[in-house]
Amino acid sequence: MLRFFAKYKFFGIVMLVLSAIIITIIYNVYTIDDEKTLPIYQPHDVTAQLVDTTVQHVKKYHKIANFSLTNQNGETITQDDYKDKIYVADFFFTTCQTICPIMTDHMVNIQEKVKNDPEIMLLSHTVTPEIDTVAQLKKYAQEKGVDDTKWNLVTGNKKQIYDLARKSYLAAKDTPYTEYDLIHTENFVLVDKKKRIRGFYDGTDPKAIEELMTDIKVLKKER
């Protein structure tokens, strides 16, 4: 018996060490996930170039303003459609040939990953509503494979959309800012169930999209 234990002593020690390492890794992974929290972004926290001067001073209580826009099916979309939802918002236009196609493809990937999760939705605002009519948005949605139950592409009053971009989502830049001139960014904006901004992500960067998906899981754990 002693010879048996002596023969397999080294093997036993190796297995013990490996088991300890695996247990430590698993513990750390779950501990990190449980402890991670997302910031709540205020206009004061964001570079001034992306924030309208009327809200740059705001340091707390910032929320996405109420809105009333029209989606690809001609339906009126308001905050009520996103009540108790976590959602990802962005700004785009259907005739864009630079960053928008990449952003849309990444939004399609997000849609695929959350298609069975009723807590998560998507919202894309056109910045050229004079071009992106309901019919145009519908055509674009069909071409891209948009799921109408998960993702609204919205058009509407231009000033309202621009105000949302600069005063609510903090996702556009221009010099100077006017009612009829706006340059949208590549940012995807993560919004929680209380209409607060919880993250900004480069919609053209696959690694940023992975980070976004991780942060959605973190946000779902909040109570």
* Tens digit of each residue's pLDDT (9 = 90 or more) over 150-206: 999 999 999 999 999 999 999 987 555 555 566 778 999 999 999 999 999 999 999
Same domain, 18 and 125: no
Same domain, 13 and 62: no
Q: Which residue has the tokens 């050229």?
A: 128
The burial of 27, by beta-carbon neighbours within 10 Å (0-12 exposed, 13-18 middle, 19 or more buried), is given as exposed
**Predicted confidence (pLDDT) at residue 15 exceeds the cutoff of 70:** no
Q: 174: which 2 tokens?
A: 């221009």
Same domain, 75 and 183: yes
Task: Tell me what the mean pLDDT of segment 207-212 comes to.
Answer: 98
Helix (H, G, I), strand (E, B) or coil at 133: coil
pLDDT at 12: 52
Same domain, 6 and 49: no
CB 61 within 8 A of CB 143: no
CB 185 within 8 A of CB 204: no
Same domain, 11 and 70: no
Same domain, 26 and 62: no
Q: Is 96 flagged in the annotation as binding? A: yes
Same domain, 49 and 12: no
Q: Is 62 flagged in the annotation as binding? A: no
The tally of domains found in the chain comes to 2
pTM of the model: 0.81
Same domain, 83 and 18: no
Same domain, 21 and 97: no
- Cross-strand pairs, 184: 172
**Model confidence pLDDT, tens digit, residues 34-91:** 578 999 999 999 988 888 888 999 999 999 999 999 999 999 999 999 999 999 999 9
Same domain, 105 and 140: yes
Max alpha carbon distance in the chain (Å)? 87
Q: 172: which 2 tokens?
A: 């556009």
Note down the domain range covering 141.
43-220
Same domain, 27 and 111: no
Same domain, 47 and 31: no
Q: Is 44 flagged in the annotation as binding? A: no
CATH value at residue 176: 3.40.30.10
Helix (H, G, I), strand (E, B) or coil at 190: strand
